[in-house]
A and B are shown apart, each in its own frame.
Chain A
Amino acid sequence: MKKQEAKELNAFLEKTTKALELEKAPKGFVRSVMQQVELQKENTHSIGYIPLVSKTLWIGIGCAVVALFWFLGFGRNHTSTDWFSTFKLNTIGNMDAFNSFSNSLSVSDSTIYALSGLLVFLGIQVIYLKQFFAKREVLL
């Protein structure tokens, strides 16, 4: 009985809503939207992506790095090492201060597990949140 009533009501409303007319958008609405679209298009062009470090500069930096290594590798024989030895480059990696600090520091296994778990979940959350906000940005 209820189903029949719902069916009748639906048929009646289908009939009545046929007489329903849409509200009219104000005059000049399309023009006003398109003006904004054009404006947006121009703005997008004018704030196009410009890299902070240009390609030429990257090539220059690359050449400088290659030249530096070449100089360190091959050119060292021809130069005096007196001033260079003052840097004590051979001591790099002997982190005495760090070693003495790490010897006195003891971290329990459970702390390590907890921190690893936290890092894993943080990583998952970052991926999830990134996807969530990317979707939201498209929709809204």
Chain B
Amino acid sequence: MSKDKDHPLITLARTGDTAAYAKLVEKYQHMVFTLALKLVGRSEDAQEVAQDAFLKAYQALNSFKGESKFSTWLYKITYHKGLDLLKKRKRTVATDSIDEGFNINIPSLENTWDALEKKEQSETIKKAVDELQAADAIVITLFYFEELSLNEIAVVLSLTPNAVKVKVFRARKRLAHVLRSKLEPEIIEGYEAYN
């Protein structure tokens, strides 16, 4: 618990200080909303899931023992709330079939990436992650953006760390594949200009 920076706010919120909890909501609103959106796909649904997750977290605040970070615990609640909504709508988390049979020329991709403007980079990676299936997008967001460890992602997704490792490996390959398709026109353009 002591390693968690949110500990003072959690302690205050437990005593009924809603202003302290509002600060936690403020801090994690975008990440929780992003996770929910990656999972359920629609903005309205994501808002419902994010709201439910924060409410559930407030209700269960006294049962939070601090075995993991508050954020990990909150993402786990969000993930399960998202699954509940998908179940209610009779939908499932979309996953790709295993597709590892493609080679990626990283140096060429990297050169093209570096040549892009910052705004273009931001748009390209956003589009690429949006094109991924929900399960991959969540893993990529948690691993690269939120920089959670494999063990922490395992807690969020209720999986073993080894299963998460495999998921990260596959999601990484798929993202690289999508990125390559996004950057291909730029690569060809650069090649033609060079010749």
Q: How many residues of A contact B (CB 8 A)?
A: 32
Task: Select B33's contact among A6, A25, A34, A140, beta carbons within 8 Å.
Answer: A25
Does A132 count as interface, using CB distance less than 8 angstroms?
no
Return the CB mask of A70-104 against B: 1 if under 8 Å, else 0.
00000000000000000000000000000000000
Q: Given that A23-B33, A30-B26, A139-B76 are contacting pairs, would A9 and B106 also be in contact in the complex, using a CB cutoff of 8 Å?
A: yes
With A16-B179, A20-B129 known as contacts, the answer to whether A40 contacts B55 (CB < 8 A) is yes
Cβ of A106 under 8 Å from chain B = no
How far is it, in angstroms, between the C-alpha of A140 and the C-alpha of B176 when the chains are bound?
Answer: 34
Number of interface residues of B (CB under 8 A): 53
Tell me which residues from 55 to 110 in chain B have a Cβ below 8 Å from any Cβ of chain A.
55-56, 58-60, 63, 76-77, 80-81, 84, 104, 106-107, 109-110
Contact of B60 among A8, A12, A14, A138 (CB under 8 A): A138
Distance between B25 CB and nearest chain A CB, rounded to angstroms: 5
Q: Does B29 contact A (CB under 8 A)?
A: yes
CB of A51 closer than 8 Å to a CB of B: no
**Given A22-B34, A22-B145, do A13 and B55 touch, yes or no (CB 8 Å)?**
no
Interface string of B167-178 (1 = CB under 8 A from A): 001001101100
Given contacts A12-B176, A14-B144, contact A140 B29 (CB under 8 A): no
Closest to B54 in A: A33
Q: 1/0 per residue A33-56: CB within 8 Å of B? A: 110111011000000000000000
Whether a CB of chain B sits under 8 angstroms from the CB of A109 is no
Question: Is B121 an interface residue, CB under 8 A from the partner?
Answer: yes
A residues engaging B (CB < 8 A)? 5-6, 8-10, 12-17, 19-26, 29-30, 32-34, 36-38, 40-41, 138-140
Q: Which residues of B contact A (CB under 8 A)?
A: 16, 18, 21-22, 25-26, 29-34, 37, 43, 46-47, 50-51, 54-56, 58-60, 63, 76-77, 80-81, 84, 104, 106-107, 109-110, 113, 118, 121-122, 124-126, 129, 140-141, 144-145, 169, 172-173, 175-176, 179
